[in-house]
Amino acid sequence: MTVADTWVPVERRWFGLDRRTLPAAVAVGALILLWAVVMPAVNRIAPANYPQVKAGERLDLGDGVTITPPAGWRLVDGFVVGSTRTPAGGQAEIAQSGVVASVQAAAFTGDAETLLGQAEREGFTVTGGRTTVTTTGGITGVVEDYSRGSGEGLVAAYAFDGVGVTVVVDAARGQLAVHSGDIDTMLRSVART
Protein backbone atom coordinates (compact mmCIF):
# COMPACT_ATOMS: atom_id res chain seq x y z
CA MET A 1 0.00 0.00 0.00
CA THR A 2 1.38 3.37 -0.95
CA VAL A 3 0.78 6.83 0.44
CA ALA A 4 -1.39 7.60 -2.57
CA ASP A 5 -3.72 4.73 -1.61
CA THR A 6 -4.36 6.12 1.89
CA TRP A 7 -4.29 9.82 1.11
CA VAL A 8 -7.62 11.67 1.53
CA PRO A 9 -8.18 14.67 -0.78
CA VAL A 10 -8.78 18.01 0.91
CA GLU A 11 -12.38 18.26 -0.33
CA ARG A 12 -13.25 15.06 1.65
CA ARG A 13 -11.68 16.34 4.89
CA TRP A 14 -13.24 18.31 7.71
CA PHE A 15 -10.87 19.69 10.35
CA GLY A 16 -8.32 17.20 9.08
CA LEU A 17 -10.61 14.18 9.42
CA ASP A 18 -12.05 12.05 6.63
CA ARG A 19 -15.72 13.10 6.36
CA ARG A 20 -16.74 9.56 5.39
CA THR A 21 -15.87 8.28 8.89
CA LEU A 22 -17.58 11.10 10.83
CA PRO A 23 -21.14 9.58 10.93
CA ALA A 24 -19.83 6.37 12.50
CA ALA A 25 -17.71 8.31 14.99
CA VAL A 26 -20.69 10.49 15.97
CA ALA A 27 -22.89 7.41 16.45
CA VAL A 28 -20.30 5.77 18.70
CA GLY A 29 -19.86 9.00 20.67
CA ALA A 30 -23.63 9.30 21.11
CA LEU A 31 -23.85 5.73 22.46
CA ILE A 32 -21.03 6.38 24.90
CA LEU A 33 -22.73 9.57 26.08
CA LEU A 34 -26.06 7.75 26.43
CA TRP A 35 -24.69 4.91 28.57
CA ALA A 36 -22.11 6.89 30.55
CA VAL A 37 -24.09 10.05 31.32
CA VAL A 38 -27.78 9.92 30.39
CA MET A 39 -28.74 6.45 31.70
CA PRO A 40 -27.08 6.90 35.15
CA ALA A 41 -28.81 10.29 35.48
CA VAL A 42 -32.21 8.77 34.62
CA ASN A 43 -31.55 5.93 37.09
CA ARG A 44 -30.86 8.44 39.90
CA ILE A 45 -33.94 10.54 39.11
CA ALA A 46 -36.52 7.81 38.42
CA PRO A 47 -38.33 6.66 41.55
CA ALA A 48 -37.87 3.03 42.50
CA ASN A 49 -40.97 0.92 42.00
CA TYR A 50 -40.07 -1.27 44.95
CA PRO A 51 -41.97 -0.76 48.21
CA GLN A 52 -40.18 0.54 51.26
CA VAL A 53 -39.88 -1.75 54.25
CA LYS A 54 -41.82 -0.44 57.24
CA ALA A 55 -40.41 -0.60 60.76
CA GLY A 56 -40.92 -4.03 62.31
CA GLU A 57 -41.87 -5.83 59.09
CA ARG A 58 -40.39 -9.31 58.77
CA LEU A 59 -39.71 -11.16 55.54
CA ASP A 60 -41.11 -14.68 55.23
CA LEU A 61 -38.50 -17.13 53.93
CA GLY A 62 -40.77 -20.17 54.29
CA ASP A 63 -40.92 -22.92 56.92
CA GLY A 64 -41.33 -20.31 59.65
CA VAL A 65 -37.94 -18.68 58.95
CA THR A 66 -37.97 -14.89 58.99
CA ILE A 67 -35.57 -11.95 58.83
CA THR A 68 -36.28 -8.32 59.70
CA PRO A 69 -34.82 -5.91 57.13
CA PRO A 70 -33.97 -2.31 58.01
CA ALA A 71 -36.87 0.14 57.83
CA GLY A 72 -36.77 2.36 54.76
CA TRP A 73 -34.88 -0.10 52.58
CA ARG A 74 -36.52 -1.23 49.32
CA LEU A 75 -38.02 -4.71 49.06
CA VAL A 76 -36.81 -5.92 45.66
CA ASP A 77 -37.89 -9.54 46.06
CA GLY A 78 -39.65 -11.47 48.79
CA PHE A 79 -42.76 -11.43 50.91
CA VAL A 80 -43.66 -9.74 54.18
CA VAL A 81 -44.97 -11.99 56.96
CA GLY A 82 -48.75 -11.93 56.85
CA SER A 83 -49.04 -11.12 53.16
CA THR A 84 -51.49 -13.20 51.19
CA ARG A 85 -48.77 -14.50 48.89
CA THR A 86 -46.75 -17.62 49.57
CA PRO A 87 -42.95 -17.30 49.68
CA ALA A 88 -41.36 -18.60 46.50
CA GLY A 89 -38.18 -20.57 47.07
CA GLY A 90 -37.21 -19.01 50.39
CA GLN A 91 -35.58 -15.96 48.81
CA ALA A 92 -35.63 -12.25 49.51
CA GLU A 93 -33.68 -9.22 48.38
CA ILE A 94 -33.56 -5.70 49.76
CA ALA A 95 -31.57 -2.68 48.61
CA GLN A 96 -30.58 0.78 49.77
CA SER A 97 -28.05 3.34 48.49
CA GLY A 98 -25.61 1.05 46.71
CA VAL A 99 -26.12 -1.91 49.05
CA VAL A 100 -28.00 -5.09 48.07
CA ALA A 101 -28.72 -7.86 50.57
CA SER A 102 -29.80 -11.23 49.18
CA VAL A 103 -31.23 -13.78 51.62
CA GLN A 104 -31.84 -17.44 50.92
CA ALA A 105 -33.24 -20.21 53.12
CA ALA A 106 -33.27 -23.90 52.20
CA ALA A 107 -33.09 -27.33 53.79
CA PHE A 108 -29.58 -27.95 55.14
CA THR A 109 -28.18 -30.54 57.53
CA GLY A 110 -24.60 -29.29 58.08
CA ASP A 111 -23.27 -26.55 60.33
CA ALA A 112 -22.93 -22.81 59.67
CA GLU A 113 -19.20 -23.07 58.87
CA THR A 114 -19.89 -25.60 56.10
CA LEU A 115 -22.73 -23.51 54.71
CA LEU A 116 -20.54 -20.40 54.65
CA GLY A 117 -17.92 -22.34 52.69
CA GLN A 118 -20.56 -23.30 50.14
CA ALA A 119 -21.86 -19.74 49.92
CA GLU A 120 -18.48 -18.24 49.08
CA ARG A 121 -18.30 -17.20 45.45
CA GLU A 122 -15.47 -16.87 43.01
CA GLY A 123 -14.35 -13.35 42.15
CA PHE A 124 -13.91 -11.97 45.64
CA THR A 125 -11.11 -11.87 48.16
CA VAL A 126 -11.79 -12.59 51.83
CA THR A 127 -10.61 -9.53 53.79
CA GLY A 128 -10.93 -10.78 57.35
CA GLY A 129 -11.31 -13.88 59.41
CA ARG A 130 -14.61 -15.54 60.14
CA THR A 131 -16.49 -14.11 63.08
CA THR A 132 -19.64 -15.25 64.80
CA VAL A 133 -22.96 -13.45 65.02
CA THR A 134 -25.69 -14.43 67.45
CA THR A 135 -29.30 -13.56 66.72
CA THR A 136 -31.65 -12.15 69.32
CA GLY A 137 -33.24 -15.64 69.45
CA GLY A 138 -29.92 -17.32 70.26
CA ILE A 139 -29.04 -18.74 66.82
CA THR A 140 -25.30 -18.52 66.15
CA GLY A 141 -24.03 -17.92 62.64
CA VAL A 142 -20.72 -17.07 60.99
CA VAL A 143 -19.80 -13.98 58.97
CA GLU A 144 -16.96 -13.21 56.57
CA ASP A 145 -16.10 -9.88 54.92
CA TYR A 146 -14.88 -9.73 51.33
CA SER A 147 -13.80 -7.32 48.63
CA ARG A 148 -14.16 -7.55 44.86
CA GLY A 149 -13.29 -5.16 42.08
CA SER A 150 -14.89 -1.84 43.00
CA GLY A 151 -17.06 -3.26 45.77
CA GLU A 152 -17.10 -4.96 49.12
CA GLY A 153 -19.49 -7.05 51.14
CA LEU A 154 -20.09 -9.81 53.59
CA VAL A 155 -21.51 -13.31 53.65
CA ALA A 156 -23.34 -14.65 56.71
CA ALA A 157 -24.53 -18.22 57.23
CA TYR A 158 -26.81 -19.83 59.82
CA ALA A 159 -27.70 -23.50 60.19
CA PHE A 160 -30.44 -24.56 62.62
CA ASP A 161 -33.33 -27.02 62.83
CA GLY A 162 -32.51 -28.55 59.42
CA VAL A 163 -32.52 -25.16 57.67
CA GLY A 164 -29.64 -23.15 56.23
CA VAL A 165 -29.89 -19.39 55.80
CA THR A 166 -27.35 -17.34 53.86
CA VAL A 167 -27.22 -13.57 53.67
CA VAL A 168 -24.98 -12.02 51.00
CA VAL A 169 -24.53 -8.26 51.23
CA ASP A 170 -22.93 -6.59 48.18
CA ALA A 171 -22.01 -2.92 48.46
CA ALA A 172 -20.30 -0.22 46.48
CA ARG A 173 -16.94 0.68 48.01
CA GLY A 174 -17.47 2.64 51.26
CA GLN A 175 -21.21 1.89 51.57
CA LEU A 176 -20.83 -1.17 53.81
CA ALA A 177 -19.47 0.96 56.65
CA VAL A 178 -22.21 3.58 56.15
CA HIS A 179 -24.94 0.95 56.60
CA SER A 180 -23.13 -1.33 59.08
CA GLY A 181 -25.61 -0.65 61.90
CA ASP A 182 -28.62 -1.59 59.77
CA ILE A 183 -26.86 -4.66 58.40
CA ASP A 184 -25.78 -5.86 61.85
CA THR A 185 -29.32 -5.46 63.21
CA MET A 186 -30.69 -7.40 60.24
CA LEU A 187 -28.16 -10.22 60.72
CA ARG A 188 -29.23 -10.53 64.35
CA SER A 189 -32.92 -10.76 63.38
CA VAL A 190 -32.86 -14.19 61.66
CA ALA A 191 -35.44 -16.36 63.45
CA ARG A 192 -37.65 -19.40 63.16
CA THR A 193 -41.14 -19.23 64.61
Range ranked top by mean pLDDT from 29-38, 116-125, 177-186: 177-186
In this prediction, residues 145-167 reach a mean pLDDT of 89
In this prediction, residues 2-22 reach a mean pLDDT of 68
pLDDT at 87 over 60: no
Q: What is the pLDDT of residues 158-168, one digit of tens each?
A: 999 999 999 99
pLDDT at 45 over 80: no
**What CATH topology corresponds to 59-192?**
Protein Transport Mog1p; Chain A (3.40.1000)
Q: What is the pLDDT of residues 122-144, one digit of tens each?
A: 556 677 778 999 999 999 999 99
Q: Give the residue with greater pLDDT, 118 vs 153.
A: 153
CA atoms within 13 A on the CB side of 91: 7
Range ranked top by mean pLDDT from 94-98, 118-122, 133-137: 133-137
Locate the domains of the chain by residue range.
Answer: 3-45, 59-192
Q: What is the DSSP string of the chain?
A: --HHHH---GGGEETTEEGGGHHHHHHHHHHHHIIIIIHHHHHHHSPP-SPBPPTT--EE-STTEEE-PPTT-EEEE-EETT-SSPPSTTEEEEEETTEEEEEEEEE--S-HHHHHHHH--TT-EE-S--EEEE-TTS-EEEEEEEEETTEEEEEEEEEETTEEEEEEEEEETTHHHHTHHHHHHHHTT-EE-
In this prediction, residues 168-192 reach a mean pLDDT of 91
